Chain A
Amino acid sequence: GEDVEQSLFLSVREGDSSVINCTYTDSSSTYLYWYKQEPGAGLQLLTYIFSNMDMKQDQRLTVLLNKKDKHLSLRIADTQTGDSAIYFCAERLSAGNMLTFGGGTRLMVKP
């Protein structure tokens, strides 16, 4: 079955690194994604990783994938107040755009 879980809340200080974690249960995931949602807005794709990769870096963002433990993480370096938002991880199992999302992690960045 498909189930994606995230912790609900994370608070960090401006300038620190943030690490948001996600676990999933379906080992047949093809791609895994991180989306950001700000209040009153839709979802913004931040980054993604193919299931045969371990790590992907994109400017301040680093995605780590541990396929054995079915664990995905997003590290945001030098976190800024503008990074305050809800972050969703999602997995794509098959062809098409049917994604399974986690419940979201609310990131609060304190000045």
Chain B
Amino acid sequence: KAGVTQTPRYLIKTRGQQVTLSCSPISGHRSVSWYQQTPGQGLQFLFEYFSETQRNKGNFPGRFSGRQFSNSRSEMNVSTLELGDSALYLCASSLGVTDRNEKLFFGSGTQLSVL
């Protein structure tokens, strides 16, 4: 079974631009979560999508948005990029069952650098 695939692996943008990151979950997984990892703030939850609907949302500004398609693939978008948005963005997929423990499987991430 293929793992969680994130594209692109590396991205360089300038301030003010926008960026779209993509995540393909493991086949059969319906939940996709996004996390931001920075040296200063560590790992922080952005949002989770399940069946094309946002199920949970972290404490990030509205410049950060996401969506999920009918095949469970997800994209996240960051508009009006700031230097502080430079980070490793990790996507995780799971079956999406909420009444029991879920194993999250993480992709290798997209390293975004904002210049």
- 8 CB-based A-B contacts, threshold 8 Å: A43-B104, A88-B43, A90-B43, A95-B98, A96-B31, A96-B56, A97-B56, A98-B33
Which listed residue (A95, A97, A101) contacts B94, Cβ 8 A?
Answer: A97
Residues of A within 8 A of B (CB): 31, 35, 40-45, 48, 50, 88, 90, 95-104
Q: Which B residue sits closest to A4, measured CB to CB?
A: B42
Contacts A42-B109, A88-B43 known; A98 to B56 CB distance under 8 Å?
yes
Residues of B within 8 A of A45 (CB): 103-105
User: What is the total number of residues of chain B having a CB less than 8 Å from a CB of chain A?
Assistant: 27
B31 touches A97 (CB 8 A): yes
Cα distance A110–B103 in the bound complex, in angstroms:
31
Residues of A within 8 A of B43 (CB): 43, 88, 90, 101, 104
Which listed residue (A43, A48, A102) contacts B90, Cβ 8 A?
Answer: A43
Given contacts A41-B108, A43-B90, 17 further A-B contacts (CB under 8 A): A42-B107, A42-B109, A43-B104, A43-B106, A45-B104, A45-B105, A50-B101, A95-B98, A97-B33, A97-B102, A97-B104, A98-B33, A98-B48, A98-B58, A99-B104, A100-B45, A103-B42
Does B87 sit at the interface, judged by CB under 8 A?
no
What 10 pairs between A and B have smallest CB-CB spacing? A42-B106, A95-B98, A101-B43, A43-B106, A96-B56, A97-B33, A98-B56, A103-B42, A42-B108, A98-B45
The prevalent SS among residues of A at the interface is: strand
A96 touches B42 (CB 8 A): no
Cα distance A44–B92 in the bound complex, in angstroms:
10
Residues of A within 8 A of B4 (CB): 42
